[in-house]
Structure 1
Amino acid sequence: MNDVTRPIVSIVVPAHNEEAVLAGNLDRLLAGTEPGEFDVIVVANACSDRTAEVAVRPGVRVVETPVPGKANALRLGDELCATFPRIYLDADVELDSGSVRALVAALDRPGVLACAPVPVWDMTGVSWVARRMHKVHNELVAPFRALAGVGVYVLTEEGHAKVFPIPDVLSDDGWAHGSFAVHERVVVPQARSLVRPARTVSAHLKRRVRVRLGNRQLAALGRSAPEGRLRLGSLGALLTGGKVSPLDAGCYLAVLVMDRAMTRARTSRGGQVQWGTDTGSRSEAG
């Protein structure tokens, strides 16, 4: 293979204690690429494991910082990027080189400033109730997801100016999503990201408290996406259309009640949720 004189894309991977999955995900990302084709920066932030060590390989630059927080890691990595467009990739999400190229190509369309892949959910080890709950949730949010919730988003240089510098928000992908009009962001059907949802209801609820507080934070900053607000009528439509079963819907509603109760309790106590690694999607203890 011949060296590529200039990378076609820069890829920032913020990573906090991702030793268990990072090496394999980087190998999959770089498999089949020309040397220098992708400019990859891993930002190991406040890690207490071997994240930085396992990330080292040809084609990857590794930066370490003692400062915790995904937004800070994204800003650090972004400052080191060599080119546009730029991909912001969660360390625990799988993305292959073919999907990267499809995402880059999609940004050649006039007026498109940002894009994301279609998520594929890995349900390995997911509990019976959690599996049904995830099924309903995915059906509800699929029409509105775009840049949020798939572990990957991509920005052109013009799109980058709308998003960066990212403030210290809990939901960086929500911030990016809310930075664009509907016609400026697209989902690329030729690209796929492999996402591992929470395996248990308990792990999901811990994650959802952070998500809900993050959404409230975005709304206060004027970056919420009102077209993504879910209604119970949408659940009724899924039932009527046969896309989910009454049992699926029952599991979803039961978890939703617990979710909202936990969020109200946390908010009333004035609790703050900090960004970190949610290991519930990839550990037996989750």
Structure 2
Amino acid sequence: MDPIASVVIPAHNEEAVIGAGLAALLGASEPGEFDVVVVANACVDGTAGVAGAAGVRVIETPVGGKAHALRLGDAACRTFPRFYLDADVELSTKSARALVAASKRPGVLGCAPVPVLDLERAGWVARRVHRVHDLMVRPTRVLAGAGVYVLDEEGHARAFPVPDVLSDDGWVHGSFLDGERVSVPEATSIVRPAPTVAAYLRRRIRVRLGNRQLASLGRPVSLSGLRLAAVGALVRSRQVSSLDAACYLTVLVLDRALTAFRRPGRARWGTTRK
């Protein structure tokens, strides 16, 4: 059968997780339903071998960097819509089909699933921080932070080629107006956030530096959901506890202090699971 969508998966040393991600995506699919391209970039592990064993196309490059991998995979795609899926994120066949359907709605140029946080490996403090942060960004997240976004042909022309930015999903999100990008409640992605506070801080530094970079390129990211008043509102509405809020605010202070001493050029894209 002709594929209903192409899927680009940039992967840097993802041997431990990419098999599970491909199994989730393809497990209930028909043969040839999805045109999947894994771009193993600067890998020193068995990422390419695991992906190849799953029956998908694999491109290997010695050049690291997610944006470069996205461009390589995108050039090899055979159809639209196109998925851009993080290697450590799980998206089921059912959710992928729902996203394909959503991408065909009139006026929709980009869409993404609703991310579900898997906090099983997260520490006690990190779990509370993630809980608060997720609630704060949920109303405005859409294409950023779900671990996957989907573009139709018109949306692709608007957002690609992705430049060498720290936040590719932020760049893509900023390429569209509110009505052109939608979150699809019928689709979910399993996202495993940083399991420790240290790992969370490393990721937040990259996010903040990435946001500065996008602003300098004319694609500013709205941070209205991250105001301190929003934390208080969550406590008053009993969506989070006072202890949750205290953990989040303490880590937020560290986050901002550390970011103040970093420059965008010093950050690198990579995994945050360690």
- TM-score, length-scaled by structure 1: 0.93
Q: Report the 3-state secondary structure (helix = DSSP H, G, I; strand = E; otherwise coil) of the residue aligned with 1:106.
A: helix
> How far has the Cα of 1:27 moved from its partner?
1.4
2:271 is matched with which residue? 277
Partners of 1:92 and 1:226 in 2: CA distance: 26
1:169 aligns with 2:165: yes
- Are residue 138 (structure 1) and residue 114 (structure 2) matched? no
User: 2: CA distance between counterparts of 1:36 and 1:156?
Assistant: 19
Matched, 1:97 2:74: no
- Map Cα deviations across residues 168-201 of structure 1 (whole Å, 9 max, x no partner): 0000000010100000000011101000011110
The Cα of 1:227 is off from its aligned counterpart by: 6.1
Change (3 A) 1:47 1:96: same
Residues 125-274 of structure 1 aligned to structure 2 (within 5 Å): 125-226=121-222, 228=224, 230-267=226-263, 272-274=266-268
Q: Secondary structure at the match of 2:186?
A: strand
Q: What is the percent sequence identity of the aligned residues? A: 65
Which amino acid counterpart does residue 252 of structure 2 have in structure 1? L
Amino acid corresponding to residue 234 of structure 1 in structure 2: A
What's the secondary structure of 2:30's corresponding residue? coil
Correspondence for 1:16: 12
Letter in 1 for 2:198: S
Partner Cα separation in structure 2 for residue 201 and residue 225 of structure 1: 24
| Per-residue CA distance 1:63-84 (angstroms, 9 max, x = gap) | 0000000000000000000000
Aligned 8 A contact 1:36 1:59 in 2? no
Alignment partners' CA distance in 1, 2:149 and 2:102: 12
Q: Which amino acid aligns with 1:93?
A: V
Query: 2:89 matched to 1:67?
Result: no
Question: How far apart are residue 57 of structure 1 and its match?
Answer: 3.4
**In the alignment, is the contact (CA less than 8 A) between 1:38 and 1:59 conserved in 2?**
no
1:114-162 per-position Cα deviation (integer Å, ceiling 9, x unaligned): 0000011101121111111111100100000000011000000000011
CA distance in 1, matches of 2:143, 2:265: 27
The 10-residue stretch of structure 1 (31-40 or 234-243) with the greater mean CA deviation from structure 2: 234-243
Cα distance in structure 2, aligned partners of 1:228 and 1:65: 39
Counterpart selection for 2:48 from 47, 52, 64: 52
Secondary structure in structure 2 of the residue aligned to 1:135: helix
How far residue 59 of structure 1 moved from its aligned partner, in angstroms, is 4.4
Residue 140 of structure 1 aligns to a residue in which SS?
A: helix
Q: What is the aligned-residue RMSD (CA, Å)?
A: 1.2
1:209-258 Cα shifts (integer Å, max 9, x gaps)? 11110110011111123265521111121111111111111000000000
**Aligned partners of 1:255, 1:152: CA distance in 2, in Å?**
26
Given that residues 211 and 221 in structure 2 are in contact (C-alpha distance below 8 angstroms), is that contact kept between their aligned partners in structure 1? Answer: no
The AA in structure 2 aligned to 1:272 is R
1:119–1:194 Cα contact (<8 Å) kept: yes
Pick from 38, 42, 48: which aligns with 2:38?
42
5+ unaligned residues in a row in structure 2: which ranges? Answer: none
Q: Gapped runs of 5+ residues in structure 1? A: 281-285
Q: How many residues in Structure 1 have an aligned counterpart in Structure 2?
A: 274
Whether the 8 Å CA contact 1:45–1:66 is kept in 2: the answer is: yes
